[in-house]
A = this chain, B = another copy of it.
Amino acid sequence: MGDEAWIDKSSVIPIYYQLAKLLEGQIRRGEFQPGEVLPTEMEIAARFEISRMTVRRAIAELVSAGMISTQQGRGTFVARPKLDNIVFELNNFNEEIEQRGLQQKITLVQADIIRANKLLQEKFEIVDSNAKFLYFKTVLSAEDERIACENKYVFYTKSKPILEKELKDPSLPEIIAAHSDYVPIGAKKVLQVSITTEEEAVILGVPPNTPVIVIEQTIYAPDRKPIGWGRSVYRGDRYKLTSYDGWYKKE
């Protein structure tokens, strides 16, 4: 009742945003406990002298943030954080190292145009053994230590020159956009654990049978045909995936 919290209608900050942050703060501070019901939309609208649609916009923000949930005919409730699901997200695995402030280097070992072999025929779901592919082999280093190696193949339809920029950090979707007539529209990635092959052990400079993270990725065109495939091997003792869930502040 005697709350002090208010909203500045003349501010450049949208009202719905102010209200969302206000409610978020109240929930974080425990003024509303998980499972409790929030004031009705009409009450909030009257309380702050704003339109109900604006209140709904603020509520929608918190719903999509997973902090509250609505039930038609019943009310709006503070949610319990769902902590069971794990979400590992890495915007470009390689950038992780950079963000840690380490010196990173990408070395292009090989860049060729090759014909289909048995592996590529399988991965690209084709039978034509004359199909051509762009092939990139790179090694990633951090602090003068080799920590990952990558092999990437792109279905080759355009005869465009290879740009220097691509040699520096050949991201599969980027190469495809430049060297294929297809629009990349989907990706499948599989993370597995393995131990190094002999070749990989030599490249990474580690003993045989060292545990590694293997990520295979396939890029698909709108017709679901694979247009790019890659296999990346990361030293298991140098990489880890971290995931934060729940109501942590994101700022």
Could you tell me which A residues sit within 8 Å of B by CB distance? 28, 30, 33-34, 64, 80-81, 83-93, 171-173, 177, 183-195, 209, 211-213, 215, 217, 219-220, 222, 236-237, 239-248
Contact B241 A190 (CB under 8 A): yes
Bound together, the chains give a CA A121 to CA B195 distance in angstroms of 33
Bound together, the chains give a CA A5 to CA B244 distance in angstroms of 43
CB distance from A250 to the nearest CB of B (A): 11
Question: Which chain B residues lie closer than 8 Å to A215 at the CB level?
Answer: 86
Name the residue of chain B whose CB is nearest to the CB of A192.
Answer: B240
Please tell me which one of the listed residues B84, B91, B236 contacts residue A85 in the complex, with CB atoms under 8 A apart: B91
Contact B91 A184 (CB under 8 A): no
Bound together, the chains give a CA A33 to CA B181 distance in angstroms of 13
Bound together, the chains give a CA A243 to CA B192 distance in angstroms of 12
Contact B192 A81 (CB under 8 A): no
Task: Give me 5 other A-B pairs in contact (C-beta within 8 A), A30-B222, A192-B241 excluded.
Answer: A28-B222, A85-B92, A86-B88, A86-B89, A194-B236
- Copies of this protein in the assembly total 2
Bound together, the chains give a CA A94 to CA B199 distance in angstroms of 34
CB distance from A89 to the nearest CB of B (A): 5
Bound together, the chains give a CA A195 to CA B85 distance in angstroms of 25
Contact A183 B87 (CB under 8 A): no
Question: Which chain B residues lie closer than 8 Å to A86 at the CB level?
Answer: 88-91, 93, 189, 191, 215, 217
Contact B189 A247 (CB under 8 A): no
Contact A242 B188 (CB under 8 A): yes
Contact A186 B85 (CB under 8 A): no
Contact A81 B248 (CB under 8 A): no
Bound together, the chains give a CA A194 to CA B237 distance in angstroms of 8
Please tell me which one of the listed residues B88, B187, B236 contacts residue A245 in the complex, with CB atoms under 8 A apart: B187
Contact B193 A236 (CB under 8 A): yes
Question: Which chain B residues lie closer than 8 Å to A177 at the CB level?
Answer: 80
Contact A84 B88 (CB under 8 A): no
Question: Which chain B residues lie closer than 8 Å to A241 at the CB level?
Answer: 88, 190-192
CB distance from A207 to the nearest CB of B (A): 11
Question: Which chain B residues lie closer than 8 Å to A34 at the CB level?
Answer: 183
Question: Which chain B residues lie closer than 8 Å to A239 at the CB level?
Answer: 193
CB distance from A12 to the nearest CB of B (A): 14
Bound together, the chains give a CA A83 to CA B226 distance in angstroms of 14
**A86-B89, A209-B209 are known contacts. Are A242 and B81 too (CB-CB below 8 A)?**
no
